[in-house]
Amino acid sequence: MKIVTFISAMALFVGHSATAQELVMPADAARNAQRIVDGSSHFLPTAPFVSGAIDGVTAEGRLEQTAWKLGGGQRTTMEILASLREQLTNAGFTPIFECETDKCGGFDFRYGIDVLPEPEMHVNLGDFRYFAAKRGENESDEEFVSLLVSRSGKSGFVQFTHVGEQLASATLTASTKTPAATTPVMPERSGPVGDQLESQGHATLGDLAFVTGSSKLGSERFDSLENLATYLQANPDRTIMLVGHTDAEGPLANNIALSRRRAAAVLDRLVGDYEIPRGQVSAEGVGYLAPRASNLTPEGRTRNRRVEVILTSTQ
């Protein structure tokens, strides 16, 4: 059984765990409402409102839905969502849909989904964002989550929905510990890739170069890739996942596909040029859902276009 713990502080979501997980809210967040239903069926949109309907999936299991109110500050809905989204993707959830206000379908989308009642959960029809993700490959261990984030006046609102069989006996708590961070920007790391994987569990392959708008990896030799290959050859029991990232230009679906292809291109280079066993490496892409800098500047977008490597071995 998994225990889902909500903590009112800014820190990181601890990953897939057999004991506890923390979806960490900003320090000024207060829980407004909560609904728990055993044996529920819950609809999660996977597309915007179009032609009178919203496409989606029906998740089954224990439903937990919680509304939070964020006081003070001037965080935008994008900033509020960014940290929570990053925590979920870092915990192994795969994004399945994201949209913003009019691109969601505006009024029709808002009233076509399940939202906790006002005033505990307020949705500003002119400023809201929606995000849905999934973890687990089989019906027995599937988990679905969604975030609905809005802002009105000086207050922000977050609705977190979590549904799946693994939620039995879930426990919700809150904490007032001091925030550990105030921004979702990921710090730069230094040192050989292998050392970073051993000490931090992840590293960025920062010198890779792709043809603009393409998944074609440059033909030159890359120091980070050679370092990674050396590490994998010396540690055949270690497994890794390559994760592609993009900037926020263009539709989410296109960016996820592009980021996945770029990660796959790096995998092919490791297998083809360095004879790394294919079973030692996997590849995935998350598009622009885990930025390490603002997409509002050219420099930030450049930092966000990257391939990271994550150590997936547990022993």
* The predicted structure's pLDDT at residue 276: 95
Is 79 domain-assigned?
yes
Is 173 domain-assigned?
no
Q: Average per-residue pLDDT in the chain?
A: 80
Q: What are the distances in angstroms from CA 53 to CA 50, 61, 98, 104?
A: 6, 24, 17, 12
- Among 73-77, 90-94, 103-107, 171-175, the least confident range: 171-175
Q: What domain range includes position 269?
A: 193-311
User: Does residue 189 carry a pLDDT above 80?
Assistant: no
**Cα distance between residue 84 and residue 290, in whole Å:** 10
- Within 8 A by CB and 6+ apart from 107, the residues are 125
* The predicted structure's pLDDT at residue 182: 33
Residues 152 and 208 in one domain: no
Residues 57 and 107 in one domain: yes
Tell me the per-residue pLDDT of 44-97, one tens digit each, with 9 for 90 and over.
899 999 988 899 888 888 888 899 998 766 678 888 888 888 888 888 889 999
Residues 44 and 132 in one domain: yes
- Return the number of other C-beta atoms located less than 10 Å from residue 315's C-beta: 4
Is 184 domain-assigned?
no
Residues 78 and 213 in one domain: no
Categorize the per-residue pLDDT at 180 as very low, low, confident or very high, splitting at 50, 70 and 90.
Answer: very low
**Cα atoms found within 13 Å of the Cα of residue 277, Cβ hemisphere only:** 10
Residues 203 and 303 in one domain: yes
- Among 12-21, 40-49, 250-259, the least confident range: 12-21
Residues 142 and 29 in one domain: yes
The CATH number of residue 211's host domain is: 3.30.1330.60
User: 157 versus 23: which is more confidently predicted?
Assistant: 157
The CATH number of residue 81's host domain is: 3.40.1000
**Cα distance between residue 164 and residue 130, in whole Å:** 19
Q: How many independent structural domains does the chain possess?
A: 2
* The predicted structure's pLDDT at residue 72: 61
Tally: H helices and E strands in the chain: 7, 12
* The predicted structure's pLDDT at residue 30: 86
Please indicate, yes or no, whether the overall pTM of this predicted structure exceeds 0.85: no
* The predicted structure's pLDDT at residue 22: 57
Greatest mean pLDDT among 36-40, 166-170, 253-257 = 253-257
Is 242 domain-assigned?
yes
Categorize the per-residue pLDDT at 183 as very low, low, confident or very high, splitting at 50, 70 and 90.
Answer: very low
Residues 233 and 155 in one domain: no
**Cα distance between residue 265 and residue 244, in whole Å:** 10
* The predicted structure's pLDDT at residue 291: 84
